[in-house]
Structure 1
Amino acid sequence: MTMHVHVNGTRLWFDVEGPALVPDGAAMRERPTLLVLHGGPGSYDHSYFKPDFAQFSESAQVIYLDLRGHGRSEWGDPAAWCFEVCADDVCAFCDALGIARPVVYGHSMGGFVAMLYAARHPGHASGLVLQSTKARFDLARLVEAFRRFGGDEVAALAERSYSGDSVSDEEWSRVFAVFGPVVPDEDELARRIRNPEVNAQGFELLRTFDAVDQLANVDCATLVCVGDRDPVTPVAAAQEIVDALPEGSATLEVIQGAGHFPWKDAPDRYWPLVRAFVTAGRRAR
């Protein structure tokens, strides 16, 4: 089932796997809703989560959302696009569909949106999964991580790219190959609908992104997860998130041998870990 909804001045595309209510004896039991937010900016949509994330539908309702300016959602004016408006979209989207107390999963840039959503709308989420993300852009930290896992030449290419200089497709492929032991393959990447204008706008905003101070406003349980071989959002970036969240609210999980897409690198460790968090007593109001 795929659908659109008009919220917050835009049209958002979403897809649903799994029921919210399931028969349980003489009653209907409510299951958690996992709202999945993709990376980017402008370069990804929900499609790279499929079919892997379908397994969550065994224990939760899974909703895939293409953020505004991405995929099959309305693109609009790229100059008006920002992380904050996407965060407000998430709140408005859930309210429009009657989704109460979701668990919001944000991967990479989706994590930016998820943490801003939770900080700007306390009390709305029942939990956050901040996967392979960061609360603050730190070019030196990123370049050093690429150097550690890819060597000096790849680090130099990553520095050029993330600084806003152009790199060729071949040069970028060398950088992308270091994202982790396993990265999305050609077919998975070909399924994306890309928006170059939002990519340019988003990377301008990415280079000044700093939400560290706002994390004190997050009032829900949070799982911060990272692969120990992730150069894009290294372990130090994940630790920085945990340190900025309210004391006792966050758990840090470092997946050994995994990169930026840890479900591909260590599925036997990854899926039980996230499933346990999603289903840990989180119910709608």
Structure 2
Amino acid sequence: MRFSRLEVLGWALLCALVAACSHHASSGASQPLDTGEHQQVINGVRLYYRVAGEAPRQQAPVLFLHGGPGYNSYSFARLMGARLEKGQRMVYLDQRGCGRSERPWDNTYSLEVLLRDLEALRQELDVERWVLMGHSTGATLALEYAARYPERVVGVVYVSGMSDAAFSFATWKQELERQHPGRIAVTDPAGTSSDYAQVMKALRGLDAQAFFNRLQFHDAVYLQQQEAVDLESGLRNTGELSRTLFATELTQYRFTQPERVTAPVLVIGGRYDSSIGLPSLKALAASLPRATFLEYEKSGHFPYLEEADRFEKDVKGFLASLR
């Protein structure tokens, strides 16, 4: 079959148009680090993360890791995120089984698998290095990641994290004795259980949630603000991640590789945080090669809520020093 020169020219033009449209569609497709909400199957589980803020592409993004265990990223993003997003690209992740991320069908939860999730997410985002910012058990996870993958970490913001479970549970026990004198002696007369087990036994028949709220909040006004944000989010802690980690790892947890963390670390702790214990945070900072410790004199477990202006200033200053 023979084609006229006009027909050949028409086919060539059509092919060019198809190629141009295909290229346009590809270039306009959402990329993993584009601002907005994302849901991707990562390490076998559909994870939710949101990217916000503007920064040069060569600038390392900041990954925020929530605590709980089993909480979500909405609260921090709502209370502090907008402040930090000015000049910084933030990534807010809901860990597996948390917030808007999928609950794994096989109930696979462990610190090890959470670390693998983070590394798989880094690869999905196609970033060489990033900054990790963690609160509570999210800070614990950030520190473990920094020790496992030091070449991938530019810096760490460690807020109210647990690095020595025995120390933190001793603080719980001390606070329980202060609030309910003699309670532990009644519920565990032999005194042979661990501090964690003694506290959990003593809390039976008491308002456990009220006790833990008092461990974390020095001023009830901030508890009310936190609860309002939680209600606004519509999200809840299913308890799956928390139950599994406390049943398997967290009750005996202690961070043992400070020398592996080569990146600068900003350690922030509230003076009235009885869920962690300020001396524990000071000891961690002293053990790390390049750490700075900041005590927040008016805060409990949530410095970014209780002293928001100072938190914003301190964290922005730290992030600027990493560039």
**TM-score, normalized by length of structure 1?**
0.84
What residue is the counterpart of 2:78 in the other structure? 51
Measure how far apart 1:276 and its partner are: 0.7
Q: Which has the larger share of helix?
A: 2
In structure 2, how many angstroms separate the alpha carbons of the residues matched to 1:7 and 1:120?
A: 19
**After the TM superposition, which residues 1-285 of structure 1 pair with which residues of structure 2 at under 5 Å, given as runs?**
1-21=36-56, 30-42=58-70, 44-52=71-79, 53-77=81-105, 79-138=107-166, 139-144=168-173, 146-147=175-176, 151-152=179-180, 163=200, 167=204, 170-180=207-217, 181=219, 182-183=222-223, 184-190=225-231, 191=233, 192-204=235-247, 205-211=249-255, 213-246=256-289, 249-282=290-323
Change in Cα spacing, 1:78 to 1:176, as seen in structure 2 (3 Å) is farther
Change in Cα spacing, 1:109 to 1:146, as seen in structure 2 (3 Å) is same
Measure how far apart 1:30 and its partner are: 4.1
Change in Cα spacing, 1:76 to 1:140, as seen in structure 2 (3 Å) is closer
Change in Cα spacing, 1:154 to 1:198, as seen in structure 2 (3 Å) is farther
Structure 2 unaligned runs (5+)? Answer: 1-35, 188-194
What residue is the counterpart of 2:30 in the other structure? none
Measure how far apart 1:260 and its partner are: 0.4
Q: Percent identity?
A: 26
Residue by residue, what CA displacement relative to the aligned partner does 1:50-74 show, whole Å, maximum 9, x if unpaired? 3222211102111100111211122
Q: Which has the larger share of strand?
A: 1
Counterpart AA for 1:49: F
Whether the aligned pair in 2 keeps the contact of 1:35 and 1:65 (CA below 8 Å) is: yes
Whether the aligned pair in 2 keeps the contact of 1:227 and 1:235 (CA below 8 Å) is: yes
**TM-score, normalized by length of structure 2?**
0.75
Whether the aligned pair in 2 keeps the contact of 1:84 and 1:116 (CA below 8 Å) is: no
Residue by residue, what CA displacement relative to the aligned partner does 1:236-272 show, whole Å, maximum 9, x if unpaired? 11122123322xx111111111110012211222110
Tell me the SS of whatever aligns to 1:279.
helix
Measure how far apart 1:79 and its partner are: 4.7
Tell me the SS of whatever aligns to 2:63.
strand
| Aligned residue-pair number | 270
Q: Greater Rg, structure 1 or structure 2?
A: 2
In structure 2, how many angstroms separate the alpha carbons of the residues matched to 1:165 and 1:41?
A: 22
Residue by residue, what CA displacement relative to the aligned partner does 1:79-121 show, whole Å, maximum 9, x if unpaired? 5211122122112211211123211001001011101111111
Tell me the SS of whatever aligns to 1:58.
coil
Counterpart AA for 1:71: G
Whether the aligned pair in 2 keeps the contact of 1:41 and 1:203 (CA below 8 Å) is: no
Whether the aligned pair in 2 keeps the contact of 1:78 and 1:198 (CA below 8 Å) is: no
Whether the aligned pair in 2 keeps the contact of 1:146 and 1:155 (CA below 8 Å) is: no
Tell me the SS of whatever aligns to 2:144.
helix
Structure 1 unaligned runs (5+)? Answer: 22-28
What residue is the counterpart of 1:25 in the other structure? none
